[in-house]
Structure 1
Amino acid sequence: MQSSQPPELVISGIGVTASIGQGKEAFRSALFEGRHSFRVMERPGRQRGTAFLGAELPELSIPPSIAKRTLRTASLTGQAALVTLQEAWQDADLASVPPERVGLIVGGSNVQQRELVQTYESYRDQAEYIRPNHALAYMDSDVCGLCTEQLGIKGLAYTIGGASASGLLAVIQAIHAVRSSQVDVCVALGALADLSCFELQAFRSLGAMGSSRYAGDPSGACRPFDASRDGFIYGESCGAVVIERAESARQRERVRPYARASGWAVAMDGNRNPNPSYEGEVRVIQGALREARLSARDIDYVNPHGTGSIIGDETELRVLHDCELSHAPINATKSIIGHGLSAAGTVELIAALLQMQASRLHPTRNLDEPIDPRFRWVRGEPVAHEIGHLLKMSMGFGGINAAVVLSRYNS
């Protein structure tokens, strides 16, 4: 007689590339030190008579396993995906897993906008000479093709778009793919959202991105949950997590799971606009806790969405308080790395995992005057803290709310 108990799902590998460092060790070190790289952005196509602030990746260190000819036709988004997935792949020791039983979910849509703008401008007056592979490269699915070709993935692969919730949605979709036995292992990738000057200007005009208030002080511009916040500050990043059954991970001696995926939920607001929804955020937290079979009191760390939005930050804290989560320590990863948009949920989940592993919480930069003092804020210095169960939230334009609960894995 088969057991009706759902399989125990774990995160068995991670990979991360961010403005503060490439690879989990560099990323972890910078997180706990509160190191940042906010400045006026310099990547071609980011400015047009402007001085937008942000945090850009350092030059990527490319592993020898990735051929130079592959890189020549890969966008920045594709290159970041390749190096990030390579780290997660090795971390989870996936070389022995049959390729037909491995899947890939790429979180993000329209993730190569700067690359497209650069291409259009280069070929504006000579469209007949445009590179033939542009017919492939302009599509988000090309990121799937690039990564599956490099790693030999033959199970399933597709993109999933949910604006700034995309990265966490990819994790949830990977969980579903393994839980339903579509594949044995599924990698969730939060793709680097490569913005051009047009998207940056539109975000600013919308009032979502920070203004020029901190033009003379880039280090002070990104300030989630602070009384002086005035919008998000963009930060390039890419993250990958490997989801599989615990029994599968145990078959590979080198693998030490980071955590158990115990609860998850997605809830829609029924609203196209970018404004947050108190009701939607409450429902998604309650749904994730219900799936995890935990109460709010069981959660002992919250990694919030926390963008620095005027309305968004206030709404999120009101939701967390009313869901009885104000007892749990809270910090804001975006204060260190900026807002990665499509990658944010995956990269911040990795930050939460590294904190769980280290029994230590990273500081929140620029949190000089918290807008709600009732919370247990981790402010200027890291603090020691054991995490048994954590909650990660992500919200996206279009009324998308996502939440994941992770629990300490006991082998």
Structure 2
Amino acid sequence: MSATTPFAIAAHTATCATGSGRAALRAALRDGRSGLRRNDFPHTALATWIGRVDGVEDVALPAPLAGWDCRNNRLAWLGLQQDGFLDAVAAARARLGAARVATVVGTSTSSIGATEEAYRRLDAEARFPDELARPIVHTPHSLGDFVQRALALEGPAVTVATACSSSAKVFAQAARLLDAGFADAAVVGGVDTLCGSVLYGFNALELVAAEPCRPFDAARRGLSLGEAAGFALLVRGDVAPDAPRLLGYGESSDAHHMSAPHPDGLGARLAMQAALDRAGLAAGDIDYLNLHGTATPANDRVEAAVVAALFPDTLHASSTKGWTGHTLGAAGILEAVVALGAIEHGELPGTLGLETPDPVCGPQIRREPAARPVRHAMSTSFGFGGNNCALVFGRA
């Protein structure tokens, strides 16, 4: 397997239930302050906890982008405005040209919340109301089209939809685009928002917990759903010599089951090993691992067994979904930002909600946070249908 070209991450940002921007996320992780709340999402009546982002309803898109207005794109716009990300992309666009900057974003439900609203408001002739008769917000590519236009980019634009691995796989797809010469930089990221299809859909699968999620706990009952927006700017060359790098990625599609993981974690392990191989690293070189860790009984059991078999006892691994909820198609980018934060600040999160570890957990899965230098970090994301992805980040 050929090594991945180490692309610099010139800028990155995340907005989720803990607040807008990286500083809010870092503070919540450090202080053990969860962003989860009792479900108060409109048109849903489920007794559960959610990771809802405050203020999305009040976001106003710029007038030229009004045709893309929906909750998902509002959250995307809110996220793009954090951590100087708009300025970083503008600088890359000016230096390289708009046609040489790609847009690769991930989502699972895109703007389906707008489609739900349109069906709730059908007129007497079963037509969408005029203000929602906008085809672009009823397609999976709504997010990718919006982000490309919002950033005035003209390079390749792709929306990846592989369920919960969507915005992890964008790093791999962008790396291939850059390696192939189709672009010199890429905006990668992901956005997913809460909606009825998400909340009722996962509830129908009997995966939603009535209490805040408890990843890897022996008494875990299921996940807490959330929403998030996150983005990163990958660039070719040494234009950002002090920036962290994408060192490797690994993907697999085990296709074991529509919604359940492979019982032996085959796909998960293949993705992790491929990421290590592309990075030219051994499992013992990883200092921090952000786990998928959804708090569903099957996922956590399988992932814990894979981690125990692949990594040494010295690894610090944790799930951060107790802070943010499971943000589905935005989970990959959100947890990549957490991994990048561990490299930048030497702060390794614990696992919020973990009280009594499941006996299958090895010593790698940590309840408490730690502080120590991190040279290499990995994040893992596993989607429905066995769409798995692992990413390795590190310093140059």
Using structure 1 for the length normalisation, give the TM-score: 0.87
1:184/1:80 Cα in 2 relative to 1: closer, same or farther (>3 Å)?
A: same
Tell me which moved more, 308-317 or 106-115: 106-115
Partner of 1:55: 51
1:376/1:132 Cα in 2 relative to 1: closer, same or farther (>3 Å)?
A: closer
Amino acid across the alignment from 2:341: L
Indicate whether 1:344 and 2:331 are aligned. Answer: yes
Indicate whether 1:200 and 2:199 are aligned. Answer: yes
Matches of 1:323 and 1:330, distance apart in 2: 12
User: Which consecutive unaligned segments of at least 5 residues does structure 1 have?
Assistant: 215-220, 251-255
Matches of 1:369 and 1:242, distance apart in 2: 39
Instruction: Give the drift of 1:226.
Output: 0.8
Partner of 2:213: 222
Instruction: Give the drift of 1:133.
Output: 4.4
Instruction: Give the drift of 1:35.
Output: 1.5
| Alignment equivalent of 2:379, drawn from 392, 401, 404 | 392
Q: Give per-residue Cα distances to partners, 1:95-119, cap 9 Å, x unaligned.
A: 5231111111121243222221112
Contact 1:299 1:325 in 2 (8 A): no
| Alignment equivalent of 2:354, drawn from 358, 367, 383 | 367
Partner of 1:335: 322
Instruction: Give the drift of 1:326.
Output: 3.7
| Alignment equivalent of 1:290, drawn from 245, 268, 277 | 277
Instruction: Give the drift of 1:378.
Output: 3.6
Alignment of 1:2-401 (within 5 A): 7-45=5-43, 47=44, 49-60=45-56, 67-68=62-63, 70-71=65-66, 73-87=68-82, 88-91=85-88, 93-97=91-95, 98-128=97-127, 129-131=129-131, 133-196=133-196, 198-210=197-209, 212=210, 214=211, 221-249=212-240, 256-257=242-243, 259-277=244-262, 278-371=265-358, 372=360, 374-380=362-368, 382-401=369-388
Matches of 2:142 and 2:251, distance apart in 1: 26
Identity fraction in percent = 26
Partner of 1:253: none
> SS at 2:131's partner residue?
coil
Instruction: Give the drift of 1:40.
Output: 2.3
Give the superposed CA RMSD.
2.3
Matches of 1:375 and 1:103, distance apart in 2: 41
> SS at 2:230's partner residue?
strand
Number of residue equivalences:
387
Matches of 2:328 and 2:361, distance apart in 1: 27
Matches of 2:352 and 2:5, distance apart in 1: 39
> SS at 2:351's partner residue?
coil
Amino acid across the alignment from 2:343: M
Matches of 2:220 and 2:29, distance apart in 1: 21
User: Which consecutive unaligned segments of at least 5 residues does structure 2 have?
Assistant: none
Contact 1:288 1:404 in 2 (8 A): yes
Contact 2:3 2:248 in 1 (8 A): no
Contact 1:11 1:241 in 2 (8 A): yes
Q: Give per-residue Cα distances to partners, 1:296-334, cap 9 Å, x unaligned.
A: 111111111100010110110111111134421012111
Matches of 2:392 and 2:159, distance apart in 1: 23
> SS at 2:124's partner residue?
coil
Amino acid across the alignment from 2:229: C
Using structure 2 for the length normalisation, give the TM-score: 0.91
Matches of 2:235 and 2:326, distance apart in 1: 28
Instruction: Give the drift of 1:62.
Output: 8.3
Instruction: Give the drift of 1:73.
Output: 4.6
1:54/1:95 Cα in 2 relative to 1: closer, same or farther (>3 Å)?
A: same
Matches of 2:4 and 2:218, distance apart in 1: 44
Contact 1:112 1:194 in 2 (8 A): no
1:379/1:324 Cα in 2 relative to 1: closer, same or farther (>3 Å)?
A: closer
Amino acid across the alignment from 2:362: R
Tell me which moved more, 106-115 or 178-187: 106-115
Contact 1:111 1:194 in 2 (8 A): no
1:36/1:125 Cα in 2 relative to 1: closer, same or farther (>3 Å)?
A: farther
